[in-house]
Amino acid sequence: MERKELCIISDSDIPSGSGGINGEGYTYGQLRHQPIITEILRRITHPIARQMAEDCNERNRKDGFTMYKVDGEYCFEGLRVGPKVKIPSKEELLALLGNYWCPIKLLGVTCVR
């Protein structure tokens, strides 16, 4: 069972990290309401990816996304740009594949049916 807790972070704090994370200096408040920043949005040229990014910003524009910790790890669910889908477990995936599953590494051949 997962443990989920709300993270309370001031909207005026400025997140920072290594590798150029938030070099623009946006505050948490700004990022909560426009997660896909203008500098990134400007460079998205694929129409479907662009629409997904705009949808993410629109979804968060009014209330902003809420950040949680799930099992001690930060969860940025509000930042998702695509639809929410449940990923199957290994057992569920194998059951779905049924007879079409082929242990390629063990057989050393390609399995096409």
pLDDT per residue over 90-100, tens digit each? 888 878 877 66
Q: In 1-113, where do the E strands start and end? A: 4-6, 68-70, 73-75
The predicted-structure confidence for 5-56, as pLDDT tens digits, reads as follows 888 888 888 876 655 567 788 888 888 899 899 999 999 999 999 998 999 8
Find residue 8's DSSP bridge partners. Answer: none
DSSP string, 18-51: STTTTTT---HHHHHH-SS-HHHHTT--SHHHHH
Q: What is the mean pLDDT of the chain?
A: 79
What is the distance between the alpha carbons of residues 8 and 69, in angstroms, rounded to a whole number? 10
Rounded to two decimals, the pTM is: 0.59
Beta sheet of 68-70, edge-to-edge order: 4-6, 68-70, 73-75
Q: Token pair for residue 72?
A: 């001690």
